[in-house]
Amino acid sequence: MSITPADIAQVASLARLKIPEDALQDVTDRFGRILELVDELQQVDTTGVDPMSNPHDMQQRLRADEITETNARERLQSVAPAVDQGYFLVPRVID
């Protein structure tokens, strides 16, 4: 895939990035090398390779799902500036 400086300028514009004119060719070359690397990685045969969440061969230790704290809503809301029907009220910040 051939990437041109015009392509990079268009993507930069869409992303609201400002790339100086004198750096445009360098960015184009670097982006092209990244795409070549991605293409090279896609050529690797991964048949029979199971997907994994991390490269380490270990099991994740999970804790028991149990309640460790009591419901303190009334105590916490007693110091709130504004509460209505068990909900904290906050001032409107967006019109």
Q: pLDDT tens digits, residue range 39-75?
A: 999 999 999 988 887 788 777 788 899 999 999 999 9
Least Cα distance to 88 among 74, 71, 69 occurs for 74
Say what the pTM is: 0.51
Structure tokens that stand for 35 in this block: 């795409």
